[in-house]
Amino acid sequence: MALILSPLAVEDIKEIGDYIAQDNPVRAVSFMDELYAQCQQIGEIPTMYPLRTALGKNIRCCPYGRYIILFSIDQCDIRIQRVLHSARDVENMRLL
């Protein structure tokens, strides 16, 4: 299966990096790298992460620190939809 990051997920990671960079630019880069690595790890066993049916059909959730990586699986691809802080009201956000 191919791993695809949606434009929103890429923007989410960039915004997370920008926020962290306000205090620690070096940590911002390393944390963004960690988020991308976690996305790659999801691709190894995507079904181990729970479904979040309240967020939409086939949406799964992978926690990473204070963030959650929301993704879906279809026949050919794993699509990372969003990367959001866990304190946000994700049930009322635009995910796709």
Whether residue 49 is contained in a domain is answered as yes
Q: What is the token pair recorded at 72? A: 């879906």
Domain range for residue 41? Answer: 2-85
What radius of gyration, in Å, describes the C-alpha atoms of the chain? 13
Domains: count for the chain: 1
- Identify the sign of the CA torsion 75, 80, 86, 89: negative
CATH number, domain of 63, equals 3.30.2310.20
Whether residue 96 is contained in a domain is answered as no
Whether residue 74 is contained in a domain is answered as yes
What is the residue-level pLDDT of the chain in tens, covering all 96 positions?
A: 899 999 999 999 999 999 999 999 999 999 999 999 999 999 999 999 999 988 888 999 999 999 999 999 998 899 999 999 999 888 776 666
